[in-house]
Amino acid sequence: MDNQIKQVIQDGNTVLGIELGSTRIKAVLIGADNQSIATGSHEWENSYVNNIWTYSIDEVWKGVQDSYRNMAAEVKEKYGLPLKKIGAIGFSGMMHGYLVFDQQDQLLVPFRTWRNNITEQAATELTEQFNYNIPQRFSIAHLYQAILQQENHVEDIHFMTTLAGYVHWKLTGKKVLGVGEASGVFPIDLHTKSFNQQFIDKFNELIAPKRLPWKLNEIIPEVMVAGQEAGVLTEEGAKLLDVSGELQAGIPFCPPEGDAGTGMVATNSVAQRTGNVSAGTSAFAMVVLEQELSKVHPEIDLVTTPSGSLVAMAHSNNCTSDLNAWVGLFGEFAKAAGMKDLDSDTLYQTLFHQALHADADGGGLLSYGYLSGEHVTHFEEGRPLFVRSSESSFNLANFMRTHLMTAFGAMKIGLDILFKEEKVALDEMLGHGGIFKTEGVAQHILAAACNVPTSVMETAGEGGAWGIALLGSYMIHKEEQETLEAYLQNKVFDRQEVHTISPDPDDVAGFEKFMERYKAGLEIERAAVQQLK
């Protein structure tokens, strides 16, 4: 097997996917069989600077280079070969946000990430103008908010893109986005698979009185769909990606995609009536629709799959951060008690499994893991909060179950709109992300939240970096007229082991009871934001 992989590496019959997530940048190199050959990663964190959540451009390149270096080092260590040729490369990143550049390609203001809830006026006005939901995270909301606030940099904008689009541009020279990523910048026309021209015209009319020296269509990237070639690695790009200088230029790139799209690919959730939940720092559920929704819902974002099918996204800014902090606290106690050998996996498994022995509604406990604002529940800021009454059943099992349920709480408000109001039908929900690593626990909770069978694949831990690698693989290996859905089903997931849990009626009822408490307690969270500075 090693000799076969060596040959694959020497022949350049590999695909590299790199995803810039909110806490980790991960690189995955796969072979022609779409299985992982080597990985590399880099940990990073956003910064809160001048009331803006951001990452510096230097951090972006340091992280990309480090994750690539670590992946290439693993190739060399395992197979004794330098990585010189690759069949295709793809980049993915956190969707949305705001990166704008002037005519000299200089960044005009620090990168404004998806995590910023600072565009409420713009998002509201654009939603009314378009009769189409424009969430605060969308790039167009950030742009319009900057215009409304008469920010000085607006007149100098020459190009606007996303994080994945920026990295792709610097490595290939091409100002493009995959349609899934583009759908988080500006609404997509489902027929043309490009930005909605009618809405572009409306936006240009809206800003005409500002007499800006550009029109929207002049500053946004070209939109591409899965399977198209989106440029090649330039000589400059090769040196930027691989500082060792071993990687050769000329490698084709697939269109850059957002983490929502790569999550759909990594869980084989790009066909209609399928959905997936990506749970990490944030949580979002993606449901591929059979038809358009009956009306505009501010809690539901409309985006697309990487091939351009309509997707309803129920997104929450906060998911596992507070939960992880509590697990870390228990870890500190374990070490203080002399359990020095207790590793992280054992700690998580021990605590998570307690949740399966809890009351279905969490015993009357309540928590909010709001480290940042939460648009679904209308918070511009957050305060992590745990509260109980004197009548609550306060024990470890209920404590853990409550924190697992609240991790999906804000997202469930959006899902309830889809399932209960819009009557969207779903055959299966697939979960991926670190919260599902402890087998069966978070999956059990998610099944109760969605009230549909919930599955986790053996590759769930591979995540979006593997997903963007698969999009690169599809680009170079697809047969004529072969759809992305067919390629994934027949050539990637045909032998995939899937673990499915059906919802337990008692757990479903318990989660509903917890959500009544969750909604009623939002005023407590609001008071915490106001009083705790």
pLDDT in tens, the chain (533 residues): 688 999 999 999 999 999 999 889 999 999 999 999 999 999 999 999 999 999 999 999 999 999 999 999 999 999 999 999 999 999 999 999 999 999 999 999 999 998 888 999 999 999 999 999 999 999 999 999 999 999 999 999 999 999 999 999 999 999 999 999 999 999 999 999 999 999 999 999 999 999 999 999 999 999 999 999 999 999 999 999 999 999 999 999 999 999 989 989 988 999 989 999 988 888 989 999 999 999 999 889 999 999 999 999 998 999 999 999 999 999 999 999 999 889 999 999 999 999 999 999 999 999 999 999 998 898 989 999 999 999 999 999 999 999 999 999 999 999 999 999 999 999 999 998 889 989 999 999 999 999 999 999 876 556 789 999 999 999 999 999 999 999 999 999 988 888 999 999 999 999 999 999 999 999 999 999 999 98
Chain region(s) in the chain for CATH 3.30.420.40: 2-257
CATH code 3.30.420.40 for 2-257? yes
Helix H or strand E segment including 126: helix 120-130
- Please give the radius of gyration of the chain, using alpha carbons only, rounded to the nearest integer: 23
Residue 334 neighbours by CB distance under 10 Å: 16
The amino acid at residue 345 is D
User: Phi, psi (5° rounding) for residue 371?
Assistant: -75, -30
Closest CA to 180 of 225, 136, 143: 225
pTM for the whole structure:
0.84
By the 8 A CB rule, do 273 and 290 touch? yes
d(CA 113, CA 323): 22
Residue-wise over 29-42: b if at least 16 C-beta within 10 A, else e?
A: bbbeebebbbbbbb
What pLDDT shows up at residue 461?
55
* Residue whose structure tokens are 């509590």: 326
d(CA 144, CA 123): 8
Residue 18 bridge partners (DSSP): 27, 91
